[in-house]
Structure 1
Amino acid sequence: MHRIVGVGCVAAGTSPPCRDPYHARSHCPNITCLKETPGMHAWLCENPVGVDALTWKELPTPTPGPGQVLIEIKAASLNFPDLLIVQNKYQMKPPLPFVPGSEYAGVIQAVGEGVTHLKVGQNVACLSGTGGFATHTLAPAALCMPLPEGFSHVDAAAFIMIYATSWHALMDRAQLKAGETVLVLGAAGGVGTAAIQIAKAAGAKVIAAASTDEKCELCRSIGADATINYTTHALPNGFRDAIKAATDGKGPDVIYDPVGGDFAEPAFRSIGWRGRYLVVGFASGPIPSLPLNLTLLKGASLVGVFWGDFAKREPKANAQMMAELAQWYGQGKIKPVIDSTMPMAELKAAYAHMGSRGVKGKLVMVN
């Protein structure tokens, strides 16, 4: 039997339930499970060799099982892990075939047994790892974030991953304080723009590093106090000189690094005394190796940031964080930077746009 992550049919009254939406209707042994069920569409990854292997297919619309909800997807954002997962390069390797799309927002169409805190017609956002690049999906009810009035589906689809990651990094792991200086690498991307906004809301000074003058201007428009174009300030010395100049020679108190690669060592060599270097990700590809004597010389800390595991291990703290972030959104302190929206059927073109490194903020697919 095929398994499919993010979609699946659950036949009422069958034991065991049918969870195979990939079979032909005429061959389902539980003949009532698909009867008169309207279809949905989804991007299927049947062979994780890259974006070109994805196919847009019609599938039966699933019924939620215990603890699940069926969501009609209105918007889904494109994140870096969504590229890795279809290339079989991500740490999570779902059974084949699966529907990519880690983060999405929409309207609840049905609720499964035991779900009492959500209801049909409610607007929610969800980050479940898979299932988002479709018209409908099954989602664990426990992972759904109810949306307050006025929270748009496009903003909600681009919200959880970048703001949860950046808040957990800056406010929890780095214990950022007002008046400190934060250097944000990859600052014009999704997590980078979120980090700028959160750091400014916390009262910090922000230096944003990005690859073009246009991206640097975007960073200034959302609150960055200073910017470094690391294309014109070449690695390693030009970059280090620019950091030194922007911090009056003291170095940043916190470095937020979702990029890795060749930027890591010159950035860490520039950190201030008692600085905290946040290891967020490796968007540039290579995982860097750092001389550990630098931690000694600077009295500095290397701090790992893994929001996904934090959410699982410390659910109460995570829930409090998400509630505060939703409040900040309502107060206008934070708002996702949306590069553009594209129709869901144009997912492959969206992947190409993301791969060109031209995206500023988040790219969102809409139904």
Structure 2
Amino acid sequence: MRAVVVHEFGPVDSHRIEEIAAPRPQPGEVAIDVHAIGVNFPDTLMVQGLYQKKPDRPFTPGRDAAGVISAVGDGVSRFKPGDRVTALVTYGAYAEQCIAPESRCFLLPKGMDFVTGAGMTTSYLTAWVGLMVRGQYQTGEKVLVLGAAGGVGLAAVQIAKAKDAFVIGGDLTEEKRQLATTNGADAAVDLSADEIRESLRQQVFAVTGGQGVDIVMDPIGGDIFDAAIRTLAFAGRIICIGFVAGIPTARPNYFTVKNLTLAGLATDHYFDHRPELIQQAVTDIFKMHAAQQITPAIMKTYPLESFQTALDLFAKKKSIGKIVLTTSRS
């Protein structure tokens, strides 16, 4: 089979597609003939050795794979060959065939195509767990989503709106802010404004009647994180999802003044510690999709051979919505 192979960590353009032996599922695993692959920002970090988890080399990157199960290992009871699934793996998705633990696979609903399935897995699970579990969202609350035009950002905007939140989308360009409002945001704020520490608070207070927001979903970090803390209302919660702009330093006194909560999020841990929550999340996500409340905004699909082009969009900050790779099976 053909797969992207990382022999040594390095720039995106240093990695290639190679012909390698197809893997076989071990007990508790399934083999998936991959049709579509969701592209995520952490993929760019992992191939460069900049992600917090560094796989043994050589390895194949990629987290989200959607396709058809071709074989199952001993002990697998929930799936059989021929089932259409999407899977979230720690790595291995950038290939024509992927091995996934049974616990990380989910049946695709009837009518959902592979591109949509691959485009939803990591982004929507992250947004759902961040909002509903870490953020402890309550109906009618106000939610500020930073990086609102990204994969996780748009998922958070859509899910929050489906849950009857007042949603504010924050991003750097007018095009990205318009995408957020098109996908359900009630208002948009400019993250490129001068003196962001003060201007972000002013923008948010202007659209919330001076109240601030109950939850901030932050996949950006850096100076934006510091500014976002100031937009929170009493007992507000800020959810740290990623650090595209750098790792900020949180000052504890900010949190005591208004009884604020800082919550981190690493979705993968829930597969090990709270697997029932993952299943609850997937069920709810598919239910909202069936009700036409949420769906990934697929910016572009590329063939697997163009994985470098797809990943390069993150480096150039040109990624909008969701990017998906497809294999020859599609």
TM-score (norm 1): 0.86
2:286 aligned to 326, 336, 344, which one? 326
Bigger Rg over Cα: 1
Distance in 2, Cα, partners of 1:202 & 1:210: 22
Aligned AA (1:249): G
Distance in 2, Cα, partners of 1:54 & 1:175: 41
Contact 1:260 1:281 in 2 (8 A): yes
2:244 aligned to 260, 283, 287, which one? 283
Aligned AA (2:45): L
Contact 1:207 1:227 in 2 (8 A): yes
Q: Which residue of 2 aligns with 1:336?
A: 296
Distance in 1, Cα, partners of 2:10 & 2:207: 43
Post-superposition Cα deviations, 1:112-168, rounded to whole Å, max 9, x if no partner, equal 222222111111101111111111122222211111111110111111211111111
The question of 1:89 aligning with 2:20 is answered: no
Contact 2:191 2:224 in 1 (8 A): no
Distance in 2, Cα, partners of 1:99 & 1:195: 28
Q: Which residue of 2 aligns with 1:348?
A: 308
Distance in 2, Cα, partners of 1:311 & 1:292: 30
Q: Which residue of 2 aligns with 1:243?
A: 204
Work out which structure has the larger RCO, using CA pairs closer than 8 Å and 6 or more positions apart in sequence. Answer: 2
Aligned AA (2:188): T
Q: Which residue of 2 aligns with 1:27?
A: none
Contact 2:36 2:115 in 1 (8 A): yes
Aligned AA (1:310): Y
Aligned AA (1:359): S
Give % identity.
37
Post-superposition Cα deviations, 1:204-239, rounded to whole Å, max 9, x if no partner, equal 100100111111111111110000122245422222
1:62 Cα deviation (Å)? 2.6
Contact 1:51 1:83 in 2 (8 A): yes
1:128 aligned to 64, 85, 89, which one? 89
1:66 aligned to 27, 37, 42, which one? 27
1:283 Cα deviation (Å)? 1.7
1:116 aligned to 77, 85, 91, which one? 77
2:215 aligned to 241, 254, 270, which one? 254
Aligned AA (2:200): F
Aligned AA (1:238): S
Distance in 1, Cα, partners of 2:278 & 2:97: 26
Post-superposition Cα deviations, 1:242-266, rounded to whole Å, max 9, x if no partner, equal 1221222111111111100010111
Contact 2:146 2:171 in 1 (8 A): yes
Post-superposition Cα deviations, 1:262-309, rounded to whole Å, max 9, x if no partner, equal 10111102211111111111122x110122111111121112222211
Contact 1:254 1:277 in 2 (8 A): yes
Q: CA 1:118/1:95 → structure 2, altered by over 3 Å: closer, same or farther?
A: same
Q: Which residue of 1 aligns with 2:115?
A: 154
1:366 aligned to 316, 326, 329, which one? 326
1:60 Cα deviation (Å)? 2.0
Contact 2:103 2:271 in 1 (8 A): no
The question of 1:175 aligning with 2:136 is answered: yes
What is the root-mean-square deviation in Å for CA atoms of aligned residues?
1.3
1:196 Cα deviation (Å)? 0.5
Distance in 2, Cα, partners of 1:180 & 1:106: 37
Q: Tell which deviates more after alignment, 56-65 or 178-187.
A: 56-65
Distance in 1, Cα, partners of 2:235 & 2:54: 38
Contact 1:252 1:272 in 2 (8 A): yes
Contact 1:177 1:203 in 2 (8 A): no
* Unmatched segments (≥5 aa) in structure 1: 1-39
Aligned AA (2:44): L
Aligned AA (1:304): G
2:7 aligned to 46, 62, 76, which one? 46
The DSSP-based 3-state class of the residue aligned with 1:96 is coil
Post-superposition Cα deviations, 1:22-64, rounded to whole Å, max 9, x if no partner, equal xxxxxxxxxxxxxxxxxx1001000012212211111122332
The DSSP-based 3-state class of the residue aligned with 2:98 is strand
* Unmatched segments (≥5 aa) in structure 2: none
